Amino acid sequence: MDGFQLLSRIGRGGTATVFLAAPLAGGPPVAVKILRHGTGIASCRREFAIASAVDAARTAVPIAHGVAAMGPYLVTAYLPDHVCGSVLMGETMSIAELWTFGGDLAETLASVHGSGVVHCDVKPSNLLVGDDDVRVIDFGISRYVGERTVNDSFVRCSRGWAAPEQLRGEPLAPSADVFAWGSMVAYLATGVHPFAGRYEADWILRVGSGEPNLSGLHQDLAAVVRAALAHDPRSRPSARELVAMCREATRPAPGPRPAPGPRPAPGPRPAPGPRPAPGRTAWPVEATEIAPPG
């Protein structure tokens, strides 16, 4: 494709394939997302515009977009020091790691929301996890705050992570991403999705009922996750509030106050001053007002 040499495939989703590529003009490698044929050029341009509105430190920076023989494409920075969030799904995290990951992800979502964007597709495969940060990628179905998710007769979302209002095709607020945050943290804590069912219909019914399964979660973490998974989006905390709760949970507890040391031994008493001469009175040295004689 023009300007880039595709090196290897590094990812594949339902609507696109991602390649590692080298710019022909030189420079560091990049990631090239090639959309499936049938995906409109306008959708590619829109994704580029939304991703460009997000803080560069919270995503893979968009570089270019265009159309090639393989289809519309989007070029972003390649982050070799980050791993796809999907690798986390098979790991067991400690409670401290869960609080840290939850705080890092919430901090990124708060930044995205501050840009007026609802990601709408927060899930493990759309995260890039580094040593001290979590970034979100793939703004293909993202919306500006208040836009609907309905396009004609279907709703675009990812099974397992969509909020109830997203399934209904209602206008989305940042609280939809908070719901996905809660589902992901619960899964990482237990290895079981909080709305898991045998069939897709079971998941839809359980999301609609608003009754997540949070058994196995640490009590304090379960309280935060339950709030994030509230059925009513108005009852969920903001991403910024989630950051505060997660950081507070990882703040070291104050240590015990040191025991008081031994009291110093009394020193020698000062020698008494000279006694006044007999027949005279020693007055304190103090200013005194004296009334004049009448």
Binding site listing: 33
Which residues make up each annotated binding site for ATP? Answer: 33
Continuous H helices in the chain: 41-53, 95-114, 164-167, 175-190, 200-209, 219-228, 239-250
Residues 6+ apart with CB under 8 A from 50: 117, 139, 142, 144
Q: For residues 1 and 69, is the Cβ–Cβ distance under 8 A?
A: yes
Residues 6+ apart with CB under 8 A from 204: 167
Helix (H, G, I), strand (E, B) or coil at 120: coil
Q: For residues 101 and 185, is the Cβ–Cβ distance under 8 A?
A: yes
Q: How far apart are CA 256 and CA 63, in angstroms?
A: 53
CA dihedral 288, 292, 293, 294 (to 10 degrees): -130
Q: How far apart are CA 225 and CA 182, in angstroms?
A: 5
